Structure 1
Amino acid sequence: MKHYDEILIGSGPAAYKMSNLLAQTDHQVLVIEGFEFGGTCPNYGCEPKIFLEGAVRNVLQSQQLVGKGISKPATLDWQQLMQTKLERFNPWPAETKENIAKTHDVESGYAEFVDDHTVKVNGNSYQADHIIIATGQTPNILNIPGKDELHTSFDVLSLKKLPQKITFIGAGFVSLELATLVAAAGAEVTVIMHSDRVLRGFPKEESSVLVKAMQDRGIRFMFKTNTQSLLAGDDELVLETDQGSVKTNYVVDATGRHPNIERLHLERTNIQYDRNGILVDDHLKTTVDGVYAIGDVVSRHEPKLTPVAEFEGQYLFNYLTGNTQDTIKYPTIGRAAFTYPVVAMAGVNPDNVVDNHSYQIKKVPLKYGSLYAGQNDQLSHLTLVFKNQQLVGVSAVGEHAADDVNNFLPVIGLKITGKEYRQAVMAIYPALADKVGGEL
């Protein structure tokens, strides 16, 4: 049985980060991947999604400016856009595998644990000083009659021909971002959710602004609705809910994701996990010595995002190579839904402290600035949360919300005051400087 210094199970952002760092050492490393090399993000997640969003945003911006300087809005050619996307992203798994194989051994197949310290893949058993589980998450599939007709975000991001009517079940990041894309391309879109609001975890006000904007573009929302079954008709599908039937051509299950652990056979080990993923300590070690977990497969409070996964990969490399003995400490994390408008936030959510007198909440409309007025952006605004005059939270909705929140991250993360910020930074006008002014 071959023994390695490290075995990486998975090759997504967390594992790929570690793989690249370990390539700079003399460690013997095995990388095992049963899905696409590179994981979800570069193949069926954030990378292709943001690539498509580039064209979609320009189309929606042009529509917003009709009568304000643009006489004819742009239109989206979905087939052409998808072909461009496929040409760019289809080679990525093979290229990623090739890059890893330059410095590490590689196995294409699903790994399973034989015992606490032995994994098997393709009939071969291996052991290592450190086994790192980085298998990520996979989309949920509702257990309803007709579930075989359900599609996931993976399917949508490779959809060569756009159906006329598309229905999304769920109202999180994935659902609303994909709904924005296909609606801009001309599909009739319905979003169904069992709750009374979208993007739970983001401030309610910004989420409501987004829903209104999407509704104004013709996207239908069905709140407090439970999906019951999906029936195939002659030329369409019928989605039955407790609020009536929805006739559609394509249904996307966007009800969330779950940790990719089923194939690992953790029941053969003492590795503990819950519904959110594998349990780890503050060194990312599982309940078995020598076995660690990083990335979206980990059960943790921090958002399951690519930068967080890469941060964990960097930390665990430093810890396993003796460069740190400190426990992992996460930085201030920004997150955004790349809808139209974009919704973004970092730090304290204003909804959680609205009745707490220790915090002060300040709302800053942005529509009056020349940059926003010139884009006919009437929706954009910032919400700033202060505690003892220190900025501790920011949220935004608008075309530039992700950048707006990013601009405030150093103030929150470094815990500098507004005075210190203004003394150290003079931002470009009329972009950030016009937004911030004397608000900090």
Structure 2
Amino acid sequence: MKKYDYILIGSGPAAYKLSNLLAKTSRKVLVVDGDEFGGTCPNYGCEPKIFLEGATRVVLQSQQLQGRGIEQTATIDWQKLMATKLERFNSWPEETKAIIAKSHDVESGYAHFVDDNTIEVNGHQYQSNRIVIATGQRPHRLAIPGDQFTHTSRDVLSLPHLPQHVTFIGGGYVAMELATVLGAAGAAVTIIDHSARPLKAFPASKVQVVKEAMEKRGVEFLMDTSVQGVRQQDEGFIVQTDQGEIPTDYVVDTSGRQPNIDRLALEAANIDIDRGGIIVNEHLQTSNPNVYAIGDVISRPQPKLTPVAEFEGEYLFNYLEEKTSLAIKYPTIGTAAFTFPEIAEAGVKEEEARENSQYQTKNLNLKYSSLAAGQNDQTGKLTLIFEGAVLAGVSVVGDHAADDVNNFLPIIGLKVTGEEYRQAIIAIYPALADKVAGGLI
């Protein structure tokens, strides 16, 4: 039986960060992955999604400017766009595996625990006192009649031909982002959700702006509606709901994501879990002292995002290599949905601030700036949340909301006052940063 200093189960952003840091040491490391090396984000998640968003943004901005100097709007050739996307991303799993293999042993296959410090892969057993689980999440699949006819976001991101009508089950950020892309490409889109509104993680007032913009572009929302099944017909499918039947050509199950732990046999290693994933302590250690977990597979309140996973990978390296003994402390985290308009936030949430007297809020309409006027962005709204003189949170909806929040992140994270910021920085004018420096804080 081979023994290693570290065994990493998974090779996504969290494990990849950790493996790169371990490559600079003399540690003997095994990296195991039963899926694509590199994980969800670079292969069938955030990176190919943002690649497609580039073409989407051009199309939707040109539509927004039609009659204001732009006479012919841009259009998407889906097959060419997808071919370009595949040309860029198809080689990444093997390239990632080759990079890891330069420094560590690798094995393609699904790992499961045999005991507290032993895993088995492809019939081979390996042992370590530092096993790190980084298997991420996978799409949740609704157990409904006809679920074999539904697809996942992974399928959509490699969809060879654009369907005429696409129906999404669920209204989270995955559904809203993909609906934006497919709608811009020319598909009719329906979003069905059992909740009263989509994008529940973001402020309701700003979500409404996004929803209304999408509805103006023809996206249909069926809220407070439960899907009961999908059946095939001669041409396409019927989505059966408690409010009636929806004819469609392609059905995407975007009902959520769940921790990817089913194959691990965690009970053999006495590892505790809950609905959110693997339970860890302040050092990312599981209930088994030989096993740690990082990335989206763990149960935590922080957003399950690629930069957060990478942060945990770096922290765990520093902790296990005795460069720190401190508990993990998460920085200010920005998050966004790349719809059009975008929606983004960081720090204290808007709803929390409105219910707590220690916070003060300031709301601004951004459509009057020259930048917004030139792009005909009529949707921009900004909420600043203060705790005394310090900016504690921000939420934005608008064509460049993600960039806007990134401008505010240093102010929130470093806890500088408005006066300190203005004394230290003069931002580029007139650009996105003007929303920070133009007397707003």
For Structure 1 versus Structure 2, the TM-score category normalised by the shorter chain is over 0.9
Q: Which moved more, 1:429-438 or 1:391-400?
A: 429-438
> Which residue of 2 is the match for residue 438 of structure 1?
439
Tell me the TM-score normalised to structure 2 length: 0.99
1:367·1:380 contact (CA, 8 Å) conserved in 2?
yes
Distance 1:384 1:146 in 2: 46
SS of 1:129's equivalent in the other structure is coil
SS of 1:395's equivalent in the other structure is strand
Distance 2:361 2:387 in 1: 9
User: Is 1:117 aligned with 2:121?
Assistant: no
1:140·1:256 contact (CA, 8 Å) conserved in 2?
yes
Q: 1:310 Cα shift?
A: 0.1
Deviations 1:267-311 (A, max 9, x none): 212100011100000000000112100000000000000000000
2:286·2:293 contact (CA, 8 Å) conserved in 1?
yes
Deviations 1:36-93 (A, max 9, x none): 0000000000000000000110010000000111011011111110000000000000
SS of 1:324's equivalent in the other structure is coil
- Output the amino acid matched with 1:230: V
> Which residue of 1 is the match for residue 14 of structure 2?
14
SS of 2:47's equivalent in the other structure is helix
In the TM superposition, 1:99-248 aligns within 5 A as 99-248=99-248
- Output the amino acid matched with 2:426: M
Distance 1:434 1:311 in 2: 29
Structure 2 unaligned regions, length at least 5: none
Deviations 1:114-141 (A, max 9, x none): 0111000011101112000000000011
Q: 1:357 Cα shift?
A: 2.4
Distance 1:297 1:354 in 2: 32
Distance 1:203 1:402 in 2: 15
Distance 1:250 1:308 in 2: 33
> Which residue of 2 is the match for residue 377 of structure 1?
377
Distance 1:408 1:12 in 2: 28
- Output the amino acid matched with 1:270: N
Q: Sequence identity of aligned pairs in percent?
A: 64
> Which residue of 2 is the match for residue 418 of structure 1?
418
- Output the amino acid matched with 2:314: Q
SS of 1:340's equivalent in the other structure is coil
2:404·2:433 contact (CA, 8 Å) conserved in 1?
no
Q: 1:390 Cα shift?
A: 1.2
Distance 1:195 1:320 in 2: 43
Distance 1:356 1:112 in 2: 46
2:41·2:306 contact (CA, 8 Å) conserved in 1?
yes
Distance 2:98 2:185 in 1: 35
Tell me which stretches of 4 or more aligned residues in structure 1 moved more than 3 Å.
Answer: none
SS of 2:218's equivalent in the other structure is coil
RMSD: 0.7
- Output the amino acid matched with 1:81: L
> Which residue of 1 is the match for residue 386 of structure 2?
386
> Which residue of 2 is the match for residue 352 of structure 1?
352
- Output the amino acid matched with 1:364: L
1:390·1:417 contact (CA, 8 Å) conserved in 2?
yes
User: Is 1:24 aligned with 2:24?
Assistant: yes
Deviations 1:337-393 (A, max 9, x none): 001000000011111221332211111111111111000011112110111121101
> Which residue of 2 is the match for residue 401 of structure 1?
401
1:364·1:383 contact (CA, 8 Å) conserved in 2?
yes
Structure 1 unaligned regions, length at least 5: none
1:369·1:434 contact (CA, 8 Å) conserved in 2?
no
Distance 2:39 2:408 in 1: 30
SS of 2:130's equivalent in the other structure is strand
- Output the amino acid matched with 1:164: Q
Q: 1:355 to 1:297 in 2, by over 3 A?
A: closer
2:403·2:432 contact (CA, 8 Å) conserved in 1?
no
2:407·2:433 contact (CA, 8 Å) conserved in 1?
no
SS of 1:191's equivalent in the other structure is strand
> Which residue of 2 is the match for residue 59 of structure 1?
59
User: Is 1:5 aligned with 2:5?
Assistant: yes
In the TM superposition, 1:315-330 aligns within 5 A as 315-330=315-330
Distance 1:265 1:181 in 2: 38
In the TM superposition, 1:242-281 aligns within 5 A as 242-281=242-281
- Output the amino acid matched with 1:2: K
Deviations 1:149-168 (A, max 9, x none): 01000000000101101000
1:272·1:286 contact (CA, 8 Å) conserved in 2?
yes
SS of 1:213's equivalent in the other structure is helix
Tell me the TM-score normalised to structure 1 length: 0.99
- Output the amino acid matched with 1:135: T
- Output the amino acid matched with 2:312: E
Distance 2:259 2:85 in 1: 27
SS of 1:235's equivalent in the other structure is coil
SS of 1:175's equivalent in the other structure is helix
Distance 1:359 1:273 in 2: 35
> Which residue of 2 is the match for residue 365 of structure 1?
365
Q: 1:433 Cα shift?
A: 4.6
Deviations 1:205-245 (A, max 9, x none): 11000000000000000000000010000011000000110
Distance 1:136 1:109 in 2: 15
- Output the amino acid matched with 1:158: S
2:11·2:134 contact (CA, 8 Å) conserved in 1?
yes
